[in-house]
Structure 1
Amino acid sequence: MSSLIRSFSLLFFVAPALCALSWNATPFNPSAMPLAVRSPYLSAWLTQGQGTALNAAWPTFWTGSILGWAGYIKVDGITYNFLGDPVVPGAQKAVQKSSENSSQPHKVYSPVEPNDLVNQSIPLSYLALEVASNDNNAHSVQVYTDISAEWISGDDTLTANWTTTVGDIITHQVQLVNQTTFGEVADHIQQGSAYYSTQGLSGTTYQSGEDIILRAQFINNSKLLNTQDSEFRAVSDRWPVFAFAVDLGNVLDTSQPVVFSVGHIRDPAIEYIVANGATQLRSSYFRTRFSSVGDAISAFLNDYGGALTRAQSFDANVAKDASKIAEDYASIVALAIRQGMASVEITTSKDSTGNFNASDALVFMKEISSDGNVNTVDVIFPAWPLFLYTNPAIGKGLLLPIFEYQATGQYPNEWCVHDLGAHYPQALGHNDGQDLNMPVEESGNMLIMTLSYTQQTNDTSLLTTYYDLLDQWTQFLIADSLTPADQPSTDDFAGSLANQTNLAIKGIIGIKAMSELAALAGDTAKSANYSTIAATYVREFQQLANSSDDKHLTLAYGNDSSWGLTYNLYADKLLNTAVFPESVFNMQTNWYNSVTNDYGLPLDTRHTYTLSGWEIWTAAFVTSSSLRDSLISLVRKYASDGQGSQPFGDWYDATTGAVINTFKARPVVGAHLALLALSPGDVLGPGTGSNSTSSASTSPVLHILPPAVYKPHQWRPDEYCRPIPGGLY
């Protein structure tokens, strides 16, 4: 008898004894396998390292804290453990035979549905089990699974309570007794409920209670008691779990899947600053379609077949597009998509009648594993290719809160704000102007993303509504981007630096982006002026940034021995602005060919570490297909080398491949889709960059702030002017 665990794409065979842990991994064993990864607070992983079977360890939250999730299958009276690592007498281990990780693994678990904002906003994941005989004989089969109260808090000493609702759908709901709205402990939200559900089919039983008691009940009796534990207690006090058992009867051919859903849902989801210091409570966008959590769970479970079909289609399109670019590229993209999507939450507000407003879809991103900020502009920016490729409407939803907030005039600085709040999920802005100071970085990012969105969708609403704000940021870039003041870039962990070459590139492309936006707005005079400024800056930039032997761009002006990844050149290709001459791309390509290490290109000459996303951005603009493919393969080599055991981290040592475990599960892995986000003509070699899954029109995102609310800042002409080295002005 074999058990195909469809939700995890892990193939198990039940056997009389535990064999050595070895299996076929497709395409490779990642450092952590995403199990239920759907939102910043529904994030369950199986840590891997050199290889950990699904039943050799407990799933963990992205931080590494345990999430109890157990599974057993009983065949002809013999019980095998297939999920989690419970220690209960009477069961033996199933033997894992294979695993698969793809953008939508072989059979769906955490579906990625970017073209349906409602579906994508439901923070639920599937566990679907199928069994089939492998000896042509019928066998008696029962399955069991449970989750623990560890899913609701980062502090296991806190008290939980729970209920079980029985009907067409059976749902266990568990939550903290004392909740903190918008509060976190160890990055776990302290608000809302965990839900574990299944269809109330014949042969299904349920129970809540102490972990070892419920698991022993199934092992000894093949079913549960349909009872509820009424002794509410701390998460770690006799470990309350919430279980289901299903009797499949005598099975010969492949059974119909037994489907469970697991999730974490809260309301309100986001606190968002609006005009005059007021705040707005926002809910998950699925509430525009479903009047209750129960309705959403029921629809989700009943839609498993449809979700599976859509997942297979999505996965096929991604694999096709990525494989055309390079052989190793599809596996990197597959590892990145779910992690990137799980960092965002699509939200809505209520209209004047008290109904949820389907035309108001704002998207919020948690800066996972670094600062925990809300909608950090320089975190959205590297992740941007993911949204351009899958559905630009989600990208627009991420930009809108930044535009709306700054257009209220509450942010006092002339440049773009760094983020919308220091602590997710509270987007409370920075009315004191004391956010992390990255003025060139964030202003350039917003201009580049706005133009790329507009180009891809022909939707000019961002441009027309926030034209003055975009222009304000451009004027700042004119003052400060050719010779950037001492400031951090997005790679702030590497330190602040004056006259950063890569930062200047971003600022210049940002100015050119505004030239294109002005042209779209019909402002031909401003378009011509900004285009001339960008072209002039490029000529002067080459004198400042080229090494004295003209072999490479320096890291900072005047330091001939320095160099770095000039990944911001990617934006010139993405926007098709051609502001930098091809000679710059050729020069950088030749240089990078000569300095590649065993695991990739260092971020810059100050360190041996690198960021995998920026390497893929670099691969997307180099003029050599062999270097492009080499960079892709080196990132894959790092991702598959078994040195890590955490959700995919983008920061690692380019010499040794050792992961720097400060970064994990971050949304910036969306950067790995950089080649897919390019238009067909910009992809080297056989790639087409077809964007076959993109569709802005299928998911309306309409959230327009009246232009009258915008309050332009008053400029002092000399406010940001500094002498340019070399006396150019």
Structure 2
Amino acid sequence: MKLLSVVAAACAVGYAAAASLFSPARPPAIPLAVKSPYLSTWLSVGSDGGSGGYLAGQWPVHWTGKTTAWSGMIRVDGTVYQWMGNPGAPNADQVSFIYTSTQSIFTFIIEKKVQLIVTFLSPVTPLDLKRQSLEFSYMTVDVSSIDGKTHDVKLYTDISAEWAAGEQDAIVEWSQDDTRHTAYYKVSRRDQIAFSESDEPDGNGMADWGSIFYASDHGRLLTQAVGQDSVVRGMFKDRGILNGTFDTQFRAVNDRWPVFAFSHNIGNVGSQAFNARFTIGLTQRQAVQFLGAQGLVSLPPLWTNYFADELEALDFFHNDFTNMQSISTDLDRKVAADSIAAGGMNYLAITSLSVRQAFGATELVGNKDKTYLFMKEISSNGNTQTVDVVFPLHPIILYTNPDLLRLMLDPLFENQESGHYPNRWSIHDLGSHFPNATGHSDGSDESMPVEECGNMLIMTLAYAQRANDINYLKQHYKILQQWAGFLIDDSLIPANQLSTDDFAGRLQNQTNLALKGIIGIGAMGEIAKLTGNADDAARYSSTAKSYIAQWQQLGIARDANPPHTTLNYGNNDSHGLLYNLWCDQELKLGLVPQEVYKMQCDFYPTVRNKYGVALDTRHTWTKGDWEMFTAATCPPSTRDMFISDLAAWISTTPTNRPLTDLYDTITGDFPGVLFTARPVMGGTFALLVAPATPFQGKKRAAPGAVDLGGTEGTGASLRRKRNRRLQ
């Protein structure tokens, strides 16, 4: 393909991009229709089998890697070109690609005659729950003449039955009809299995229930057909229109590959653009099973509380394009302006690519009186509402609408406060396989006790601070106090256990994990203060301060050159990203001395690899979310190092799946563990939520053993525990 020099100016989002084919970067995968764990289709880009960033020539895929065939062709003065997928025609000449937080925009020039602009808009409307709850996405196609002449133009697109089932031998059914504003297809798996995924027990599949809709404006220019892929596409190639064929033989996805096609017989096109709009979406009447205060209940998607049925929802969405585009564009502008101000264009390349991925792992369910925001731990194991995945997600939630964090925390509190979890510490997740939030009444969830207690205390306070919701702290004070008590006993000297980086294995005396627990205790001190529990506030705050003093003695290799924190106590040749330090900054606790911040930020450049700083000394891999947490704690020189390295990886990695948070800092490839499309990339917004402040040179807390606070005898017990584990 000829690469024209393009000044890619994203006018809709108000920032200028570089004169290159891809802007602001060439991502590993491009989001096309990304609205939920099950409506999540991407274009693979990276060199490990990707398209290189060209929309034509390769089929889009679900985040699982399964094909969700979506094709587009255009006929200009009798000659046919393909602009999406691989329906069997010459490729149209793509000259630019731009992405924003909510849009992916491809521009084509055809025979120097016609310009074709294809825009995929997956609206993100965090302040408007009605619109955010709809699992629909837009594709718009604008066609105009660029040579001063008129041209005969016809436009074609279809989707295959692969969208409706994750298994190619599954039988699908379909229908075709009109609403007030749209002509649509409805495609469904014949044997519906609610709350089930095609690839269970891995937890990484497409939904076995619900219906896919594909719609466009109806009118005299529109023709349609349903049938075998080669037959229907051949009809357009030969004649430029579809003859209305409706295949009634319901069958398996891979049995003559049924497709559902639209063609716009545009006719003469001049300099004034013709616009065609398409809507693709998923509807389900039940979304999540939840074990809460009312026992086990089935929760509907939130959109069912606003619309009488799926057709009313479809019609509303399709006709609401102007509003959806305006709201989403406002978000695009805000993310662009804030990101550039905070970290430059490299940072914008990271944040804007993370938005749809982060929100695309969530789903609003319930009703107007009791709404929940559930999240799937995409790809790493498929858990529901995993606390240590909600945690790296939560910066983008705070940035866009803090109330959404409450909707994510609510089901975690409700399940445990209703007596459905027997352990003293916080639950790890609400279910092994999304969308089943059935809890762990036997207490057999993956055990990360210090990690999850710290996460819950930190996130609850972070929400209350930004939403000014002290009543929320009062409502959950008892269980927060329970978790803080556990941290008092177990966080300073963590037992051999997992942290959120469980793929690296168990380890005792983890320096970064201990820090999270101590900050959790400090958060409880602030919670107690805000709720008027002065005695508790003094006790928790005193304990956190004394623990931090001891933590500095245990977890810092002071004789190293340069000094730095260790991976685990006493292992002075080790190091790791101290990303939990950001929590102290986020909550404005002032618990950790500024000299620790400075020491770490001075150290990271000394262990930098090609694509960043390794997560710790056990491997050369790192995680992009934790890199951005860490960058947010540092002054511009080190901060920009982290940002530029991650942006360079995004643009050059051979990986071809949605933004992989775990990658190798030397090769840029997968490290043997494939974490793809995960919501944790919402953590890239840490810098926008709580940026670093100039170092003040605050002196280190006094070293040595001090009164540990808490219950009588706790100090001596912990000292014995520390000595025993360090032996």
- TM > 0.5: yes
Q: How does 1:540-579 map to 2 (within 5 A)?
A: 540-549=550-559, 551-579=563-591
Q: Which residue of 2 aligns with 1:94?
A: 92
2:391 to 374, 381, 399: 381
Q: How does 1:283-322 map to 2 (within 5 A)?
A: 283-322=300-339
Query: Is 1:365 aligned with 2:366?
Result: no
Q: Which amino acid aligns with 1:40?
A: P
Q: Which residue of 1 aligns with 2:400?
A: 390
Equivalent residues of 1:175, 1:194 under 8 A apart: yes
Equivalent residues of 1:163, 1:174 under 8 A apart: yes
Equivalent residues of 1:108, 1:307 under 8 A apart: no
Q: How does 1:119-134 map to 2 (within 5 A)?
A: 119-134=131-146
2:184 to 157, 160, 171: 171
Q: Which amino acid aligns with 1:80?
A: Y
Q: Which residue of 2 aligns with 1:694?
A: none
Q: Which residue of 2 aligns with 1:441?
A: 451
Equivalent residues of 1:108, 1:311 under 8 A apart: no
Equivalent residues of 2:26, 2:53 under 8 A apart: no
- TM-score, structure 1 normalization: 0.88
Q: Which amino acid aligns with 2:154?
A: Q
Shift of 1:23: 6.9
Equivalent residues of 2:576, 2:614 under 8 A apart: yes
1:602 to 611, 614, 638: 614
Q: How does 1:312-461 map to 2 (within 5 A)?
A: 312-327=329-344, 328-348=346-366, 357-461=367-471
1:283-325 deviation per Cα after TM superposition (whole angstroms, max 9, x unaligned) = 1112222111111111111111222222222111111000011
Query: Structure 2: which 5+ runs fail to align?
Result: 1-7, 12-18, 106-118, 200-204, 696-710
Q: How does 1:466-477 map to 2 (within 5 A)?
A: 466-477=476-487
SS in 2 for 1:206: strand
Equivalent residues of 1:625, 1:684 under 8 A apart: no
Shift of 1:42: 0.6
Distance 2:275 2:712 in 1: 67
SS in 2 for 1:160: strand
Shift of 1:155: 0.6
Q: Which residue of 2 aligns with 1:705?
A: none
State which drifts further: 432-441 or 633-642. 633-642
Equivalent residues of 2:377, 2:386 under 8 A apart: yes
SS in 1 for 2:565: coil
Distance 2:363 2:693 in 1: 31
- TM-score, structure 2 normalization: 0.89
2:31 to 20, 24, 34: 34
State which drifts further: 52-61 or 457-466. 457-466
Equivalent residues of 2:660, 2:678 under 8 A apart: yes
Q: Which residue of 2 aligns with 1:659?
A: 670
Q: Which amino acid aligns with 2:313?
A: A
Distance 2:40 2:123 in 1: 13
Equivalent residues of 1:31, 1:640 under 8 A apart: yes
Q: Which residue of 2 aligns with 1:4?
A: none
Shift of 1:655: 2.1
Query: Is 1:112 aligned with 2:124?
Result: yes
2:644 to 614, 633, 645: 633
Shift of 1:254: 3.0
Distance 2:480 2:556 in 1: 30
SS in 1 for 2:559: coil
Q: Which residue of 2 aligns with 1:14?
A: none
Q: Which residue of 1 aligns with 2:211?
A: 193
Change (3 A) 1:333 1:47: same
State which drifts further: 472-481 or 215-224. 215-224
Change (3 A) 1:32 1:683: farther
Distance 2:171 2:9 in 1: 35
Q: Which residue of 2 aligns with 1:214?
A: 232
Change (3 A) 1:678 1:221: same
Q: Which amino acid aligns with 2:238?
A: N
Equivalent residues of 2:176, 2:186 under 8 A apart: yes
Change (3 A) 1:717 1:439: farther
Shift of 1:68: 0.9
Shift of 1:716: 13
SS in 1 for 2:536: helix
State which drifts further: 36-45 or 224-233. 224-233
Distance 1:489 1:642 in 2: 27
Q: Which amino acid aligns with 2:30?
A: M
Distance 1:338 1:452 in 2: 23
Equivalent residues of 1:10, 1:97 under 8 A apart: no
1:647-676 deviation per Cα after TM superposition (whole angstroms, max 9, x unaligned) = 110111112222335111111111111101
1:154-213 deviation per Cα after TM superposition (whole angstroms, max 9, x unaligned) = 110111111111243211001111111111113111001111011212211222111111
Change (3 A) 1:9 1:438: farther
Q: Which residue of 1 aligns with 2:629?
A: 617
Shift of 1:275: 3.5
1:379-428 deviation per Cα after TM superposition (whole angstroms, max 9, x unaligned) = 00011101010111211111110000000012000000000000100100
Equivalent residues of 2:555, 2:568 under 8 A apart: yes
Q: Which residue of 2 aligns with 1:67?
A: 68
CA RMSD of the aligned region, Å?
A: 2.3
Q: Which amino acid aligns with 2:81?
A: Y
State which drifts further: 106-115 or 373-382. 106-115
SS in 1 for 2:35: strand
Distance 2:10 2:533 in 1: 57
Q: Which residue of 2 aligns with 1:281?
A: 298
Q: Which residue of 2 aligns with 1:159?
A: 171
Distance 1:642 1:490 in 2: 24
Shift of 1:504: 0.6
SS in 1 for 2:27: coil
Q: How does 1:528-547 map to 2 (within 5 A)?
A: 528-547=538-557
Shift of 1:9: 11
Equivalent residues of 1:223, 1:247 under 8 A apart: yes
Equivalent residues of 2:653, 2:668 under 8 A apart: no
Equivalent residues of 1:172, 1:196 under 8 A apart: yes
Q: Which residue of 2 aligns with 1:234?
A: 252
SS in 2 for 1:447: helix
Q: Which residue of 1 aligns with 2:21?
A: 24
Equivalent residues of 2:30, 2:53 under 8 A apart: no
Distance 1:395 1:599 in 2: 31
Q: Which amino acid aligns with 2:275?
A: P
Equivalent residues of 2:292, 2:411 under 8 A apart: no
Equivalent residues of 1:325, 1:683 under 8 A apart: no
SS in 1 for 2:493: coil
Q: Which residue of 2 aligns with 1:511?
A: 521
Shift of 1:359: 2.6
Distance 2:394 2:229 in 1: 43
SS in 1 for 2:680: helix
1:520-557 deviation per Cα after TM superposition (whole angstroms, max 9, x unaligned) = 11111101110000001111111111214161111111
Distance 2:277 2:369 in 1: 32
Distance 2:475 2:308 in 1: 32
Change (3 A) 1:161 1:45: same
Distance 1:216 1:25 in 2: 32
Query: Structure 1: which 5+ runs fail to align?
Result: 1-7, 12-21, 349-356, 686-714
1:11-64 deviation per Cα after TM superposition (whole angstroms, max 9, x unaligned) = 9xxxxxxxxxx9711112111111111100011111011414111100001111
Shift of 1:484: 0.7
SS in 2 for 1:326: helix
